[in-house]
Amino acid sequence: MTVRTGLVPAPGEFSAAPPGEDAGHLLDARSGIDAGPGTERVAQWLRGTVGAATGLPLPPHTGDRDGIVLRIAPEESGNPEAYGLTVDRHTITLRAAAEPGLFHAAQTLRQLLGPDAFRRAPVTSKRRWEVPAVTVRDAPRFRWRGLMLDVARHFMPKDGVLRYLDLMAAHKLNVLHLHLTDDQGWRVEILKYPRLTEIGSWRARTRFGHRASPLWEQKPHGGFYTQDDIREIVAYAAERHITVVPEIDVPGHSQAAIAAYPELGNTDVIDTTTLSVWDDWGISPNVLAPTDNTLRFYEDVFEELLGLFPADAAEFSQFVHIGGDECLKDQWRRSPTAQARIRELGLADEDGLQAWFIGHFDAWLTARGRRLIGWDEILEGGLAKGAAVSSWRGYGGGVAAARAGHDVVMCPEQYVYLDHRQEAGADEPVPIGHVRTLEDVYRFEPVPPELAPEEAEHVLGAQANVWTEVMEDHARVDYQTFPRLAAFAEVAWSHLPASGERDFAGFEERMAEHYRRLDALGVGYRPPSGPLPWQRRPGVPGRPIEGTPPNR
């Protein structure tokens, strides 16, 4: 029996029986699942995925032979995501202290079965499926292992989001950050304010390529998730032990909301009734007015949002992302209303006004048992006491936040912005930013060396971000995201050595098997040899940046 060692992400401990000592386990029509108390959902998932791919019924079964044994064993580990997996000729045993770990064990078992186990229906007539004799003990390095999907710039329909939740689960990622609002679109239904989606979810046209491109797609683009869609996404994620963290961007990146409700904008500076949902890329100057009316409006929005994204036992379900990035303050400088608010509050300047705005929602969310998280610009003017930081402008914001006692998610653009180009070649579609290869992502280190051990404890984990300005459909999202997301997943999950000491050659060898899994899943990844003809976008201008990105 062939021993498949191409597991991604790499487990903490892995051993295979020497050839000839144990032939491993054969799953066939007689094999069942012995599901102990608390393992029923994992058993259901195995039947629905592995059972569908293999054609095996995997019925309920008791006994110590000929099947899969699922056990919740609190003595296994204090880490709810840790697991153990053993395969011998008699049984396949999955054990964990809690259901999340058992679910991760099931994902590892699926990989051991081979790439065809990732299909939705059998493609082979074989009646017996080989599982090599192995022992695995595993646990994640980081608690927050995230993927940010920007569904505001280009809308991803609900089925696409559900598909990405499955892809995340296959890579043991556990946080989906949904970027739901921006200048170019509002993507979540708010019942009290229907114009947010009636008007704010559609733009008249879309620039094709970077904002310097002369090309336009002259047709409306948009869409939104109904509240029932959101409930379905959240429930589907929870079944896969993934937490969905919503983002409503304030006070910048808000032109779509202002187009729907002009009174939210700085009406004493411009005629906000003339604004439409922005059809261009970049940073819009049209930001929210710092008025009581704006605060009450967004309190209503967040009130509905909290009902759609309930806080539960999942560790990060209390988080709500409020953006806070790239808020251009020119309108506030010209606005008598904004300047009066600065004087009234005794603030130093417009940075202080943004800090007040963020602090208001930090207190509002805290009073409701939630936690605010925002991009590292929320550090400007003073950071709200309970806030956490998504550090995107390099490591600096995360270092400053951790040293001040704030929790941090590391997502520096020079390593894990997956919209950045993957090669310098002319065939790379719509090249954005620095070249960030598969190896570059694999060598990403989420914890900066300058943090002391007690400061490093504030690094909750890491996140890869997928901004979709130049990704017009799911095929482009696939191309930019994979295979680099597999490398990121290993960084976030596995206990790897220091960046320069990592065995990238060994990772590439394991990826040879993993590409076959991605093929079975229908992922349109970038092949190692470069883009396929239909993945190129000749003549569509991007914004490539030459040289090595700054490591700060």
Q: How far apart are CA 263 and CA 154, in angstroms?
A: 26
Q: How far apart are CA 243 and CA 203, in angstroms?
A: 30
Whether residue 508 lies in the annotated active site: no
The CB density around residue 271, as the number of other CB atoms within 10 Å, is 9
Asked if 324 and 250 touch (Cβ cutoff 8 Å), the reply is: yes
Q: How far apart are CA 377 and CA 397, in angstroms?
A: 8
Given 66, 182, 407, 440, which residue is catalytic?
182
Asked if 250 and 357 touch (Cβ cutoff 8 Å), the reply is: yes
Q: How far apart are CA 454 and CA 345, in angstroms?
A: 35
Residue 122, SS3 per DSSP: coil
Whether residue 434 lies in the annotated active site: no
Beta bridge partners of 188: 225
Given 326, 351, 427, 445, which residue is catalytic?
326
Dihedrals phi, psi of 226, to nearest 5 degrees: -65, 165
Whether residue 249 lies in the annotated active site: no
Q: How far apart are CA 158 and CA 373, in angstroms?
A: 24
Given 179, 210, 253, 474, which residue is catalytic?
253
What distance lies between CA 507 and its chain's CA centroid? 22
Q: How far apart are CA 105 and CA 102, in angstroms?
A: 5
The CB density around residue 191, as the number of other CB atoms within 10 Å, is 11
Alpha-carbon torsion angle 401, 404, 405, 411, nearest 10: 10
Q: Could you list the active site residues?
A: 182, 253, 326
